[in-house]
Amino acid sequence: MVYKPRWFFSNQQLYSVSEVTKQMASVLVGQFHARDAEGRVYPVHEFQESQPDEAQGGQPVITYRLAIGDRVKHLGGDNFELVQSGVQMTRTSS
């Protein structure tokens, strides 16, 4: 039997089953707003892997996504970047 990955669309993006399984293993641990240089505000969700990968030394893996599902890269401190567009944002104080 040949393994064929399954794919599906969500929020106009193509995801594999393994990506979805990984997302399902994450727990929402925080929410905040970030603002770009043009003043647009983005709701950002912070996720932590529910079962840390042993390759990471058992340390929790933190990922960030917009509320609509777009991936966000943490640049350090309060600085973030949208992966698809490269737009840089700064966390706003609540």
Higher pLDDT pick, 26 / 24: 26
| φ, ψ at 84 (rounded to 5°) | -70, -45
Domain locations along the chain: 26-91
- Cα–Cα distance measured from residue 65 to residue 73, given in angstroms and rounded to the nearest whole number: 8
Say how far apart CA 26 and CA 54 lie, in whole Å. 15
Identify each DSSP E strand in the chain by its residue range.
Answer: 7-10, 13-16, 26-36, 41-49, 62-66, 71-76, 79-82, 88-91
CA separation for the pair 57, 83 (Å, rounded): 26
Band of pLDDT at residue 17, cut at 50, 70 and 90: low
Task: Kindly tell me if the per-residue pLDDT of 30 is higher than 80.
Answer: yes
Confidence check: pLDDT of 35 > 80: yes
* pLDDT tens profile 39-88: 999 999 999 987 766 655 777 889 999 999 999 999 999 999 999 999 99
Model-level pTM?
Answer: 0.67
